[in-house]
Amino acid sequence: MKLIIDNLHLERGGKFLFKDLSFCLESYKPIIVMGSNGSGKTSLLRCISGLLHSTSGEIYSINEKGEKIEYLHQCNYSGHKLAIKNELTVQENIIFWSRYYKKEINKDLLIKFKLDSLSDISVGLLSFGQMKKLSLIRIFLAEKSIWLLDEPMVGLDRESQEVVKKLIEKHIDLGKLIIITTHTDLKFDNQILLSL
Amino acid sequence: MISLINPTNFNKLSEKIIQFIGLFSLALFIVGIYWGLVIAPIDYQQGEMVKIMYIHVPSAWMALLIYSFITLMSIITIIFRNPITVIAAKSAAPIGLIFTLSVLLTGAIWGRPMWGVWWVWDARLTSVMFLFFIYIGYILLLRSQNTSMKSEKIAAIYAIIGFINIPIIKFSVDWWNTLHQPASILKIDGPSIHSSMLYPLIIMFFAFSILFLYLLLLSMRIELIKNKIRAINQRRINDINN
Amino acid sequence: MGTYLAIIKRDLVISYKDGDHIAMGFGFFLVIISLLPIGIGSDIDILPKVGPVLLWIAFLLTTLFTISRLFKDDHVDGTMDFMIMDSAIFEIIIICKVFAYWISITLPLIIVIPIMSILLNISMDLILPITFIIFISSPAFVFIAAVGSALTLGMERSGILITILILPLYIPLIIVGISATNINVIGINSYSVSVMLISGFSMLSIALAPFLISLILRTNSY
């Protein structure tokens, strides 16, 4: 499976965020998007995830036989908005996702993220880093084949960053697709650096 | 003196007396209900229906009394910032709401055979209904933001503003000519009710008051425990962060 | 199926934990209803005549004012993003959300309508027909209001704007619904015809509104 971004233009407020952007996302080749604030990293991910309409250009995916296929339902996006419910407890949030995606809950992940002992606490009381970890659990739990991660490491301590990095590497090793935007140094094997 | 009343002292004191108060209220209820329903005479106009008075009238007094209590606590909250008065006002509100609901319901049951309708929109009934709304509004305001001193203060100000409704309810039967019978007990020239009905009524009033005290202490203790749980949870989160 | 039940359950748990929202809708309903009788005073003859109209007005205003939050939380915290991406089922997700709203806000109102009817001195024979006709028109009310909620997503003071946008769409419902139980309107609508008309209207809303809402939310997503 490949994801092809073909000649993408995005105009916002009379200014082009990116022009003639073309690249191909393939298995075992994670793409790291770097760029300064306001350079359109988030917009690019939202374009790919279908949440934002590009001015022109095309995004499509092809399977092994070279046929165009629908990819949106195989995509998962994690952005600045954490997509967690402050009114619910940690556990209630996770149970909701596991029912929503029809996937089993991975207890190890909770333990690695040190959220297991907080499972009965309302998310609204957690610190930002803990909320961010909880929001990433949704991505890991859903196990979709294309991950679009916008600044996944923001707010995480060193230990948790390692855990996230390992999980991303595992995802790559399975031959699945991933695009990550970041400010900090992130190194993966065979990575392609995209500067906006 | 007010600074002496702090959560720790309150907890110790209330733990000792709470069961005694509950039993006392129960005893008063048994005496009051037996006297009111069995011994006391029936009204020559209203028949047995008059006996709902022993619930209706004390409930009405409690509804007003509890609101006055909340107002008093709110004033103290604003002036002295005592944590106990905040909790007292907060805990009293749902109890007052229930008593107000009880006035409205027993009133409707009483009104149906007397007036032929469940409800009339006269001054007394309507103002009690608005007391009900004010209780709801106060509770919602208290809960609207997270438990911070600020939201409690804002709710306290609202409680004081809402107190304007209390004299309106009390005097509405005298000021406006309405279906509701005028006051027969708290009058300047003495009560106009026969002592055989007055005594059980007074006992029921005390039973209700002590019941309120019991429920108030109980829910204040629950509120304190909730605060404690909140603090513990906060500590758990911080421990993991460090 | 699990996905949809999960959404309904989550929304119900949230609205139960944040019960103020339910209480506010409820309080709003009661206050609106008690305003008119105070103005009229204790004139017992007028109240039963205008009572049903008052119930309808209070019911639809409560719906319009409380519905602004339907999609707001999911939009603000980003949950909407991943739901939109599961595009094949997004319309059904919308139906689930509206259904959860209906259970938590609308159903309690319908349950107290008989009590309110008694307070308004509406004749006993009319109480059940009125409650029933409001009950079957409630899906139409809620789904049309949900369209307004989607349209005004992300705006401030959206409650008032929703009212202006959506109230005109309610007019056929109100005319048919109120005349159904109005003894003064003779001939045009017998009760059963009104029931059928309103059921049809509700069915149509359930069928069409989710597609409209999905379209609006997708356009609105950035």
Task: Convert the pLDDT of each residue in B32-65 to its tens digit.
Answer: 888 888 887 777 677 777 788 888 999 999 999 9
What are the pLDDT digits (tens) for A117-146? Answer: 888 888 988 889 899 999 999 999 988 989
Asked if A130 and B241 come within 8 Å (Cβ–Cβ), the reply is yes
CA dihedral B115, B118, B121, B124 (to 10 degrees): 80
What are the pLDDT digits (tens) for B118-176? Answer: 777 777 788 888 889 889 888 888 877 655 667 778 888 888 888 888 887 777 766 66
| Interface mutation target, options C10, C84, C91, C221, chain A, most CBs of A under 10 Å | C10
The pLDDT-based confidence of A187 (bands split at 50, 70, 90) is confident
The pLDDT-based confidence of A40 (bands split at 50, 70, 90) is confident
**Tokens 């719906």 sit at which residue?**
C63
Closest residue, chain A, to C15 (C-alpha):
A87
Neighbours of chain B (3+ CB pairs under 8 A): A, C
Q: Does C20 touch chain B (CB under 8 A)?
A: yes
Q: Which pLDDT does position C183 carry in this prediction?
A: 60
Q: Is the dihedral of CA B172, B178, B179, B181 positive or negative?
A: positive
Instruction: Please count the residue pairs, one from chain B and one from chain C, whose beta carbons lie less than 8 angstroms apart.
Output: 39
Is the confidence at residue A183, as pLDDT, over 90?
no
The pLDDT-based confidence of B179 (bands split at 50, 70, 90) is low
Q: At what angle do helices B195-241 and B53-80 cross, to 10 degrees?
A: 40
What are the pLDDT digits (tens) for C167-182? Answer: 888 888 888 888 887 7
Q: Does C10 touch chain A (CB under 8 A)?
A: yes
What are the pLDDT digits (tens) for B75-131? Answer: 988 888 778 888 899 999 999 999 999 999 998 888 888 777 777 777 778 888 888
Neighbours of chain A (3+ CB pairs under 8 A): B, C
The pLDDT-based confidence of B69 (bands split at 50, 70, 90) is very high
Distance between CA atoms of residues B17 and A133, nearest Å? 48
- Give Cα separations from C20 to A19, A32, A125, C14, C198 (angstroms): 49, 45, 19, 11, 31
The CATH architecture of the domain made up of A2-195 is 3-Layer(aba) Sandwich (3.40)
Tell me the three state secondary structure of residue B75: helix
Nearest by CB to C38, from B126, B140, B144: name it. Answer: B126
Asked if B241 and A127 come within 8 Å (Cβ–Cβ), the reply is yes
Is the confidence at residue B3, as pLDDT, over 60?
no
The domain limits of chain B are: 27-41+49-237
Q: How far is C164 from chain A (nearest CA, A)?
A: 29
The domain limits of chain C are: 2-220
Cβ pair B63, B128 in contact under 8 A: yes
**Can you list the residues of chain C whose pLDDT is less than 70?**
41-44, 87, 183-189, 221-222
Distance between CA atoms of residues C33 and C58, nearest Å? 6
Closest residue, chain B, to C34 (C-alpha):
B126
Q: Does B236 touch chain A (CB under 8 A)?
A: yes
The pLDDT-based confidence of A194 (bands split at 50, 70, 90) is confident
| Interface mutation target, options A121, A133, A158, chain B, most CBs of B under 10 Å | A121
What are the pLDDT digits (tens) for A65-81? Answer: 888 888 888 899 998 89
Instruction: Please count the residue pairs, one from chain A and one from chain B, whose beta carbons lie less than 8 angstroms apart.
Output: 19
Q: How far is B110 from chain C (nearest CA, A)?
A: 14
